[in-house]
Structure 1
Amino acid sequence: MNITKKTIIGFLFCIIPFGISAQDYVSKVWVSDLGNGNYKNPVLYADYSDPDACRVGDDYYMTASSFNCIPGLPILHSKDLVNWTIIGYAINKMPKDASFGKGVNHGGSVWAPAIRYHKGEFYIYYGDPDLGIFMTKAKDPAGEWEPLTLVKEGKGLIDACPLFDDDGQVYLAHAYAGSRAGIKSLLAVTRLTPDGKKAVGESKIIYDGHDIDPTIEGPKFYKRNGYYYIFAPAGGVATGWQLAMRSGNIFGPYERKVVMDQGKTVINGPHQGAWIDTKTGEDWFLHFQDVGAFGRVMHLQPMIWKNDWPVIGEDKDGDGCGNPVLTYKKPNVGQAYPVATPPESDEFNSNTLGLQWQWHANPQSWWYFTNQEKGCLSLYSVPVANDYKSLWDVPNLLLQKTPAPAFIATVKLTFRPDARFYGERTGLVVMGIDYALLSFENTKDGFVLSQNECINAEKGNKEIVNESITMKESTIYLRVKVIADATWIFSYSTDNKRYTDLGKSFKAKEGKWIGAKIGTFCTRPVLKNDGGRVDIDWFRITE
């Protein structure tokens, strides 16, 4: 019997319910759950920066900044705060008037969201530093979210978080981006309409951090025991601390207290996140840590309340300021749940893209075809601009977050360029301000495989070739291995058995407010009425 990939796919669909594979996926390179009742930090070694979360019954839902990546506003789900899966996105495509609707807006658009559950609906607010504060909502967090609503227009308004008060009033805390507003280190509160869709009047400054809490931002709004609380990071992304502020009046004045800092730990800049409780009465705090090229990875810290102040992490000296933990007992959520992680590898056997994938900017529907019958992903070549210098501003990069400090990524692809012209190419790319790739190009001399890099791509520098070879085969396996200190080594194979290194090692660098990402693309240098494609059989992350 001739068993093909298509036959196997059909058999699996008969015995496995749709969707279960995503929920049951377990990473081969990073698992936080230690299997003995404890967990290790980070709970997600991936760039889920500025995380915020809410609990609804036994379920936890989280979102994070997505900046220029689409789909945006990822929605993650967990039962125990340690094992997380992606269940969808709140933004499928940015509206035309959004700042990156026409191209790649590096580091812009979706900053520091907050997710809340109120009267049977989920709400997400975020700041676009160029346009203002937006909101969307949904009854089902894994389903379709409403079109974006501009809640408060204004340049430099960022890091928005709502509070639905006991008396029916709705308020919003936000910060200011110095790069756009011309001022920072301030927090403000504004009143919203009862439906939460529009700001009422002007914002009122409720805290000035210039003197002792520079770059205070990312406010998260809560109410407990008659106090209004604002949790906020200060001191800088990689170097700061976590504050809590409280007041009996929503517009202040607010007392402040540092409730977590790095101390003598290796977890730098521990801040910006979400207070979460459990049905069993425990309190926890999700936050990020900036680890350079890998972005801002997510940690989980124990939290307690003392004298109506939160203490986050371990407070060994009893001063009310905790330090982050690397390992700890898992939250008590009433029962044990199976290990699960966001998906990384993809066999492209579905009629939709895996939830780990994001485009560099707003996609066109014709850029790709999820060919379930063949079990592959087809990417069609997209024309690049006449003044093309590098992949930095190419929107049809299909990328995912790096999932661990060390791993191997391998892609099997078959290149099918248009025979009418040369210059179409595909490949495997590690994308950041500095980037590198294996480029597989159709030239007048045939297929050419090269290892290329571009240093300071954001400054308009051109991509250079480190080493190249001609290839006869159109099907090829491309591989990159990341080792200590974010160093990447590229190799290739024609049989997936023997791999040959190509070019030189590459020191990755983060993107604009995001970690380095890894993925693929297909481009062409000319605008014709048609072009070629690449068929990607699979993309696998391994040790």
Structure 2
Amino acid sequence: MIFFRLSFTYSVVVAALFCSSCSSVAQRNTAASNTSLTNEAAPVTGISKVWVADQGDGTYKNPVLYADYSDPDVCRAEDDYYMTSSSFNAVPGLQILYSKDLVNWKIIGYALDRLTPYAHFSKPQHGNGVWAPSIRYHNEEFYIYWGDPDFGIYMVKTKNPAGPWEKPVLVKEGKGLIDSCPFWDEDGKAYLIHGWAGSRAGIKSILTINRLSPDGTKVLDEGVMVFDGHDAHPTVEGPKFYKHNGYYYIFAPAGGVATGWQLVLRSKNVYGPYEERIVMDQGSSPVNGPHQGAWVDNKNGEDWFLHFQDIGAYGRVMHLQPMKWVNNWPVIGEDKEGDGKGQPVLTYKKPNMGKIFPVTTPQESDEFDDHTLGLQWQWHANPKATWAFITGSKGQLRLFTDQVPADFRNYWDVPNLLLQKFPADTFTVTTKLKFTPNAKLQNERTGLIVMGEDYAYVSLVSKKDGIYLTYNTVEEAFKGTPEKEEVLGKLNGNEVYFRVSVGKNAKCQFSYSEDGSQFRNADTAFTAVAGRWIGAKVGIFATRLDKINDSGYADYDWFRITPLTTEITESSQK
């Protein structure tokens, strides 16, 4: 089984790649547009070519992460910042990002190499799993708490946030327990606050506090309801617990994912009563539903708040807002009216950390030259050891075809999708592969996919008389809708380049090439949509319909993300 890279530093090993020509493709009778580049996509360095928040002049632009880091939480340890976010059913889960200045981030590891219970998450559990985690640094250890709406509240900890992390501990068992956050008070007492998922518990829009054992491993009582948001703050959830200047503070989003606001509660007593105030909403900005995130400070006395914005197919992207304290209330963003309620900024001066740090961005492209897979990749379920192997000496990732589930309806049901987040509003993905199906089988398949509740992919599929190119789409995959398949042609050889160009509003144009230079479009474009509580993702797969003791395989040479070079027009939409 492949391993994922775990390190504080990220480097991309760029090797010289020699392009062997792909065999010619039988031309279709239907007309299709052609696009070309002067040569195949060049190796990509470690800094993103499609989104960099650091503007290089002492300012940054939002979002600082144009990717689906849903429900982010951040903690500071001395001069270092660590972030995690909801990972739901993706594996490995709880990716850990690292920053020195809150603007430049990179992935350094993950806290969960598998989801528990293992068998339950061995098939895709869309929208389930890891909800709204919190990360804290306490007594020189890092803790992450999260709620799984079907099993309860879990905790993992470590001394090294890059990993490995200890095995998960079930802190509070139950249905509908979500969005948990610990707090250790100066008197040695510890507490755990959480919200409720109405879909499992039958109640919602309330916040509950439990006493927590000092070691953080178990709750000590039945809990106390400290806030009811039904009247003014429906769907209050995602609480984060702090103490400042003698007050206990609960930062909590309310009003719904796409349209909500940032609520703050304060009290001199852990259990209340709590005063309430909306400290940030959309205002006149274009940033809808700015809420749910983390307050952090720095050694120079500045305060900052990180939160998400839901933008449909791109998921919940992360913004950074200035924050200040006025009369013991936080004011987040730009307070244009002077009423204590801010709105998001689009650009701002970077945090003053005492020095300038290099530009970094989360990993995107992968040359597959190392002996481990890049940390940007996640499976759709707990993986099998036979799905994929890195062959770093050859600079390739080998995907073996795996048999689809017995109840297979479409790729919504398939666990061995190797995916990563959309990295920007527009971008291009190109990958090169060689397909070696088992000659005894038909319908082994490998390809490049954009996955969500609707999905599309371009693929190679084996038949009795050779390998064919197909373009497949499906709407409302979660309903078991059958795919629509368009045969693009027959491949005389077994090597091909696949590409998807993603334009504004998540419009996607798939194409293929036999030589890495001339790309031929699929006849119709596709509009990506979000998955279950997540943004659309892009990646690769290899499947088969039948059982066999020696499956075929696909060798992926590289996977590169580069800027969009061609406009995707409305007329080409599905």
TM-score bracket, normalised by the shorter chain, equals over 0.9
Task: Determine the C-alpha separation between the residues in 1 that align with 2:417 and 2:59.
Answer: 38
Task: Determine the C-alpha separation between the residues in 2 that align with 1:140 and 1:335.
Answer: 24
Quote the offset at 1:99 in angstroms: 7.6
Task: Give CA-to-partner distance per residue, 1:218-258, whole Å, 9 cap, x none.
Answer: 00000111111000000000000001100111111111000
**2:268 maps to amino acid:** G
Quote the offset at 1:37 in angstroms: 0.3
Instruction: List aligned pairs for 1:227-266, cutoff 5 A.
Output: 227-266=247-286
Q: Which of 11, 32, 46 is equivalent to 1:21? A: 11
**2:362 maps to amino acid:** P
Q: Which of 285, 303, 310 is equivalent to 2:305? A: 285
Aligned to 2:82: 61
Task: Determine the C-alpha separation between the residues in 2 that align with 1:100 and 1:226.
Answer: 44
Secondary structure at the counterpart of residue 485 of structure 1: helix
1:77 correspondence with 2:98? yes
Q: Which of 382, 385, 388 is equivalent to 1:362? A: 382
Aligned to 2:558: 538
Secondary structure at the counterpart of residue 365 of structure 1: coil
Aligned to 2:230: 210
Quote the offset at 1:82 in angstroms: 0.2
**2:357 maps to amino acid:** Y
Task: Determine the C-alpha separation between the residues in 2 that align with 1:275 and 1:426.
Answer: 44
Aligned to 1:311: 331
Aligned to 1:384: 404
1:431 correspondence with 2:421? no
Preserved CA contact (<8 Å) 1:356 1:400 = yes
Task: Determine the C-alpha separation between the residues in 1 that align with 2:399 and 2:500.
Answer: 20
Quote the offset at 1:100 in angstroms: 3.7
Quote the offset at 1:101 in angstroms: 2.4
**1:312 maps to amino acid:** I
Task: Determine the C-alpha separation between the residues in 1 that align with 2:173 and 2:204.
Answer: 17
Aligned to 1:31: 52
Task: Determine the C-alpha separation between the residues in 2 that align with 1:256 and 1:19.
Answer: 42
Preserved CA contact (<8 Å) 2:405 2:413 = no
1:503 correspondence with 2:523? yes
Q: Which of 470, 478, 487 is equivalent to 1:450? A: 470
Quote the offset at 1:418 in angstroms: 0.8
Task: Determine the C-alpha separation between the residues in 1 that align with 2:327 and 2:119.
Answer: 45
Instruction: List aligned pairs for 1:270-419, cutoff 5 A.
Output: 270-419=290-439
Preserved CA contact (<8 Å) 1:173 1:190 = yes
Quote the offset at 1:98 in angstroms: 5.5
List runs of 5+ in structure 2 lacking aligned partners.
Answer: 1-6, 14-44, 564-574
Higher alpha-carbon deviation: 70-79 or 445-454 = 445-454
Task: Determine the C-alpha separation between the residues in 2 that align with 1:86 and 1:440.
Answer: 32
Quote the offset at 1:203 in angstroms: 1.5
Task: Determine the C-alpha separation between the residues in 2 that align with 1:365 and 1:459.
Answer: 29
Aligned to 1:10: none
Instruction: List aligned pairs for 1:508-519, cutoff 5 A.
Output: 508-519=528-539
Task: Determine the C-alpha separation between the residues in 1 that align with 2:407 and 2:253.
Answer: 41
Higher RCO (C-alpha 8 Å, min separation 6): 2
Secondary structure at the counterpart of residue 151 of structure 1: strand
Normalized against structure 2, the TM-score is what? 0.90
Change (3 A) 1:202 1:91: same
Aligned to 1:6: none
Quote the offset at 1:345 in angstroms: 0.5
**2:84 maps to amino acid:** T
Task: Give CA-to-partner distance per residue, 1:97-116, whole Å, 9 cap, x none.
Answer: 25842311000010000000
Task: Kindly report structure 1 stretches of 4+ aligned residues shifted beyond 3 Å.
Answer: 17-20
1:150 correspondence with 2:140? no
Secondary structure at the counterpart of residue 513 of structure 1: coil
RMSD between superposed Cα atoms in Å = 1.3
Preserved CA contact (<8 Å) 2:105 2:362 = yes
Preserved CA contact (<8 Å) 1:161 1:220 = yes
Instruction: List aligned pairs for 1:478-493, cutoff 5 A.
Output: 478-493=498-513
**2:82 maps to amino acid:** Y
Aligned length: 526
Preserved CA contact (<8 Å) 1:100 1:361 = no
Normalized against structure 1, the TM-score is what? 0.95
Secondary structure at the counterpart of residue 179 of structure 1: helix
**1:56 maps to amino acid:** A
Task: Determine the C-alpha separation between the residues in 2 that align with 1:341 and 1:257.
Answer: 35
Preserved CA contact (<8 Å) 2:8 2:162 = no
Task: Determine the C-alpha separation between the residues in 2 that align with 1:466 and 1:235.
Answer: 43
Secondary structure at the counterpart of residue 199 of structure 2: helix
Task: Give CA-to-partner distance per residue, 1:277-331, whole Å, 9 cap, x none.
Answer: 0111000000000000010000000000000000000001100000001000000
Task: Determine the C-alpha separation between the residues in 2 that align with 1:274 and 1:285.
Answer: 5
Task: Determine the C-alpha separation between the residues in 1 that align with 2:197 and 2:386.
Answer: 36
**1:64 maps to amino acid:** S
Secondary structure at the counterpart of residue 300 of structure 2: coil
Preserved CA contact (<8 Å) 2:118 2:382 = no
Secondary structure at the counterpart of residue 86 of structure 2: coil
Task: Give CA-to-partner distance per residue, 1:376-433, whole Å, 9 cap, x none.
Answer: 0001111012332211111000000000010000010101111111110000000000
Task: Determine the C-alpha separation between the residues in 2 that align with 1:103 and 1:289.
Answer: 29
Secondary structure at the counterpart of residue 392 of structure 1: helix
Quote the offset at 1:94 in angstroms: 1.5
Task: Give CA-to-partner distance per residue, 1:178-201, whole Å, 9 cap, x none.
Answer: 111111100110011111000111
Task: Determine the C-alpha separation between the residues in 1 that align with 2:393 and 2:111.
Answer: 29
Change (3 A) 1:309 1:400: same
Aligned to 2:64: 43
Task: Give CA-to-partner distance per residue, 1:11-37, whole Å, 9 cap, x none.
Answer: xxxxxx995416982100000000000
Task: Determine the C-alpha separation between the residues in 2 that align with 1:18 and 1:318.
Answer: 42
Change (3 A) 1:68 1:335: same
Preserved CA contact (<8 Å) 2:254 2:260 = yes
Task: Determine the C-alpha separation between the residues in 2 that align with 1:216 and 1:501.
Answer: 46
1:87 correspondence with 2:108? yes
Change (3 A) 1:506 1:538: same
Secondary structure at the counterpart of residue 499 of structure 2: strand
List runs of 5+ in structure 1 lacking aligned partners.
Answer: 1-16
Task: Give CA-to-partner distance per residue, 1:103-149, whole Å, 9 cap, x none.
Answer: 11000010000000000100000000000000000000002000000
Quote the offset at 1:539 in angstroms: 0.2
Change (3 A) 1:22 1:117: farther
Preserved CA contact (<8 Å) 1:436 1:454 = yes
Task: Determine the C-alpha separation between the residues in 2 that align with 1:503 and 1:413.
Answer: 22
Preserved CA contact (<8 Å) 2:9 2:108 = no
Secondary structure at the counterpart of residue 242 of structure 2: strand
Instruction: List aligned pairs for 1:175-190, cutoff 5 A.
Output: 175-190=195-210
Task: Give CA-to-partner distance per residue, 1:55-112, whole Å, 9 cap, x none.
Answer: 11110000000000000001000000000000000000113x2584231100001000
Secondary structure at the counterpart of residue 489 of structure 2: strand
Secondary structure at the counterpart of residue 477 of structure 1: strand
Task: Determine the C-alpha separation between the residues in 1 that align with 2:225 and 2:171.
Answer: 18
